[in-house]
Amino acid sequence: MITRTLIAAAGFAALATAALAQDAPMIEAVDQDVSNGVVSATAVNAPANGWLVVHRTDDDMTPGPVVGYAPLRAGMTQDVAAILTEEIAAGDMLMLMIHSEDGGMETGIFEYTLGATEDGPIRVDGALVTTIVTAQ
């Protein structure tokens, strides 16, 4: 009886861990050709409705000016495409980041500017949810 209980408990713990990992906010993306004016994430898991925001970045890996964004639904979304608002050259690094839909004046309107709190970036355990891609 103890063995079965331990095995069942271990199985439930593994399922709970997998469910938590599946629910964790994340972005998956790869280096890509952006000559069509679009950068895409292959998958995004957002904790609430918000934004996939594209920031310029460099070797310092700090978020720079916003150069594109796309709305996000809460939960897992596949193939999220953000239209770029300025030219991106091959070799430019882009930071894709999940932002919230909180604190702004209007719902559904992206209101963030670098350093503002409106529609600002989300954090998990103090860390931004980001991934870096290089334009091809």
Tens-digit pLDDT string for the chain (136 aa)? 444 444 444 554 544 444 445 689 999 999 999 999 999 999 999 999 999 999 999 999 999 999 999 999 999 999 999 999 999 999 999 999 999 999 889 999 999 988 888 999 999 999 999 999 999 9
Tokens of 29: 């993306």
Looking at residue 23, its pLDDT comes to 83
- Residue 3 placed within a domain: no
Looking at residue 84, its pLDDT comes to 98
- Residue 44 placed within a domain: yes
Q: How many domains does the chain have?
A: 1
Tokens of 93: 């690094």
Provide the CATH number for the domain around residue 32.
2.60.40
| Stated length of the chain | 136
- Residue 9 placed within a domain: no
Looking at residue 6, its pLDDT comes to 47
Report the predicted TM-score, pTM, of the whole model to 2 decimal places: 0.83
What's the domain range around 44?
Answer: 24-134
Name the amino acid, one letter, at 67: V
Of the candidates 124, 122, 136, the residue with the CA atom closest to the CA atom of residue 63: 122
Looking at residue 127, its pLDDT comes to 96
Reported as half-sphere exposure (CB side, CA atoms, 13 A), residue 52 has a value of 33
